[in-house]
Structures are given as structure tokens and as C-alpha cells.
Amino acid sequence: MKLSKLKISTSLFLVLAVVSTSFAQSRSKIDKKQLASRVKSEFLHAWNGYKKYAWGHDDLKPLSKTYKDWYGQTLLMTPVDSLDTLILLGFKDEADATRKYITENLSFDKDIYVQNFEITIRLLGGLLSSYQMTGDVKLLNLAEDLGARLLPVFDSPTGLPYKSVNLKTGKTRGEITNPAETGTLLIEFGTLSKLTNKPVFYEKAKRALVETYNRRSSIGLVGTNINVETGKWTNTDSHLSAEIDSYYEYLLKCAILFDDADCRKMWQESIRAINKYNADEVRGELWYGHADMNTGKRTATTFGALDAFFPAVLALSGDLDRAQRLQDSAYKMWTAHGIEPEEFDYQTMRVGAPAYPLRPEIVESTYYLYQYTNDEKYLRMGARFFNDFVKYCRTDEAYAGLKNVVTKEKSDSMQSFLFAETFKYYYLLFAAPKTLDFKRVVFNTEAHPIKKTW
């Protein structure tokens, strides 16, 4: 119907005027400088809350304004995870004071069982990238001490790592694990190896990655859970979500960081299977769902906040087309409720698991896509995410995750990846390119940038 034939009432005219103005506004040039400075002040808001109520402990509990230590004693999770972000955001005095506090107070000589994966990506990764940025050799010494204490995890009959290790005794436990925990170690252990000239770190973590890959099914997929003593899968659901996600990420990133031809081949074989069995077209949109690792049969049409890392990995692999299409889908997931849920059924567009624990993945992918395309669309997308994030997750003295993205009820949790990743990726998206040379680093899965200095 031609517009001229419409009898436009005054109110319809007003609606059209408003819509066209907001459309024009959304197309107006994004003020990167102003956004970068807002990210910095929001970072400080959260950081000051951590300092006021939880300094020296692992995490702040933002609603009860107290702290949480993961294992009863502190491992300085938030300070170590945050240090390279403090440096990148230009908070020099805070960074110096935090680095000093870490080197004077952090000790791994503790009789506690820790989860190898989390400690590797947050602490080992954080210490290594901060060492590279500052040249403070005490950080490298801490990393080496930690790496040596974690090494017993690999002493299983298969070479797949146990889930936990006692930092003092070296005793291990947890034989049921998953590809994310067996395969997200090589960036950190490999870098430690290169920086200390000790091959053992590279060899053990590489073997764990290869042993995971070797147990893929005949159609090339891995499952969710595996027993490190028998090497048998205990859950055959295959997807890009929790417990598998960063295994795929490290196949590609280790190929790049270490020029490792085995990793490149494992990535190429894996992405072929993922694009065949996990990729799903719904309403003309690209999503990645769940499939049985042996039959390839679709088991669930769910995607979520964690899966939103995949556009970044696709872009890094050179597949910009799929990366952009998947990012458009992730944007739909976010805008369905103004913030993304942990689990989302892309077939019905309904929320499965409703929490939002301040995750960074969707921002990470926005940053990568902006780096590769220079398209303002990704700045606008990032600005939308950031505004929603501030609106719903900011508290009077810090930031809090959400229990439910529909009701926006908050949870008493502010994990260290808020500083390590979420704020870092928001800042890097809007900051001047000289802040960090994207092409010269590989980010570990906790957003700690590693430079190839070897």
C-alpha cells in the first residue's frame, strides 16, 4: 500500500516521527571516547566496592557487602585476574599497588584442593600476562611455582588431567571431567614453558589436549563428560556451551600462538564437524545447538551466554560470514529481555536458565568483529550491551550478577571475570587502537592477552 494513500492521523504521525528520530539517533556516530571513559568510571565503581569490602580476598559479594574465598583461604583471585585490566585502562597507581600487594602476599603453599582449570585460566593466565606487561620477575616466579604445583593433575593413566589438586601435597581427585577442563590449559602452560625454558609444561598440557581430541567420535565431535582414568565418555551431548566451549577455542588459539601444526589440524577437523552437526538454521538465522556426539542427532535447540564466545573464534579462524551471522543471533538473544540468559531456546525464543553472572563472551565477540570489519554496527551493538549492563547490574557500590534476566532480580555475586574480561572487552572495543595491538596478542579464555615473545 502506498504511503500517500494512507490517511495518517495526528497520533500515527507522531509515532512515525518518534520512530524515525530514534532510528536516526541509533545511526548517529558513536562517541567512542565518551564510551571508553564511561567504561573506565564504571570499572572504578566496581573496583572500589571490591576494595572497600573484600580487599585481599577472592571475590566481593556485592549485595551483602562481604567477601567470598573459594577455598576458605584467599588466592587473591580478583587482584590477579584484574591486574592487566588495571594496566590497560591506564590506572597506573592502582596497578602498581595491586602488583605490589600480589607479589608480597600471594602464596600457593596452601593445603587446599583447587580446580585446575579455574586456577590455570584466572591465576596462571593473569600472572603471565601481567608479567609480560610489567617485566616484574616476581610475577613470573609466582607463575612457575603455581605451574609446578598444578602439574600432578596430569598423572592419570590417560594423561587427561584430574579436576583438582592439593597445592601442598600434590594429591589429585576428580576423575570425571570435561573437554573444557582437559583442553583449556595449553596457552597458559605453553607460555610458562616458553618463558621458563621448561618443556614439561608444554608437553603435559599439549598431551591433555591431544588425548581429548583422540577420543572424538567417528563423526568428529566430543562429548560433555569424560573419565580421566578410563578415557570413556560419561555424557555424549556435544555443543559449544559449558564444559566444552574453550576446548575448541584453544585448538585454534594454540595453533596461532605456538605455530603448532597439530593444533591447526585438530581445529580444522573439529570445525568441520561443528559446522555440520551443531550449526542450525532457524528462520534464516544461524545458531549452534546440541547434538549427540555419536549420531549427530539434534538433542536440544539451546544456545546461551557462554556460547556467545563463538563468533569471536569464527572470526579469528577467518570465517567472518558465519561469525557475523551468529553475532546477529546472539544480539537477538540479548535483546529478547534486555540482557542475555545463561540458556536460551532459539527455536521457541524462550529463556531456559535465567541467570546472568556478568559474563563477557558476547562483548568479546563484538570486540573481535569490530576489529575485523571496522563496521560501526558493532560499536552500536556494544553500546547497547553496555547501557543495559549498567542499567541492570550496577549496585550502589559495585556490580552484581542477575538471578533472572526476565525479572532482573540481582544475585549476591561479582566474579573476578567481571574485571578480567567484561570490563576489559568493553574498554578495548571503544578505546583508541594503540591501547593494545589486537594482531600481536592471543587472549586466553579469561581475556589475559599473551604476546608471542619466543
CA gap 386, 391 in Å, rounded: 8
End-to-end alpha carbon distance in the chain: 66
Q: Count interface residues toward ligand DMJ (CB under 6 A).
A: 9
**Residue 199 beta carbon to ligand DMJ: minimum distance, rounded to whole angstroms:** 26
Identify residues 108-147 at the interface with ligand DMJ (CB under 6 A): 121
Q: How far is the CB of 180 from ligand DMJ (least distance, A)?
A: 7
Residue closest to ligand DMJ when measured from CB atoms? 445
Residues 358, 417 contacting (CB under 8 angstroms): yes
Q: What is the closest distance, in whole angstroms, from the C-beta atom of residue 178 to ligand DMJ in the complex?
A: 12
C-alpha cell, 111: 593445603
Q: Which is nearer to ligand DMJ, 260 or 340 (CB)?
A: 340
133, 87 Cβ separation under 8 angstroms: yes
Cell 571490591 identifies what position? 50
Rounded to the nearest whole angstrom, what is the least distance from the CB of residue 266 to ligand DMJ in the complex?
18
Amino acid letter for position 216: R
- For the annotated catalytic residues, the residue numbers are 118, 245, 342, 361
The angle subtended at Cα 286 by Cα 284 and Cα 287, nearest 5°, is: 130
Site string for ligand DMJ, 7-46 (x = CB under 6 A): ----------------------------------------
445 binds ligand DMJ (CB under 6 A): yes
If one asks whether residue 246 binds ligand DMJ (CB under 6 A), the answer comes out as: yes
Determine the angle formed by the axes of helices 137-150 and 186-196, rounding to 10 degrees: 120
Site string for ligand DMJ, 283-312 (x = CB under 6 A): ------------------------------
**417 counts as binding ligand DMJ under rule CB under 6 A:** yes
Q: Which is nearer to ligand DMJ, 217 or 226 (CB)?
A: 226
For residue 237, the cross-strand partners are 292
The residue within the footprint of ligand DMJ, chosen from 212, 446, 449, 450 (CB under 6 A), is: 446
Instruction: Please give the single-letter amino acid code of residue 147.
Output: G
Angle among Cα 205, 208, 212 to the nearest 5 degrees reads 145
Burial of 437 (0-12, 13-18, 19+ CB in 10 A): exposed
Alpha-carbon distance of 432 to 15, in angstroms, equals: 38
Scan residues 342-401 and list those touching ligand DMJ (CB under 6 A). Answer: 359-361
Q: Which is nearer to ligand DMJ, 224 or 246 (by Cβ)?
A: 246
User: Contact positions toward ligand DMJ, by CB under 6 A?
Assistant: 121, 246, 359-361, 417, 421, 445-446
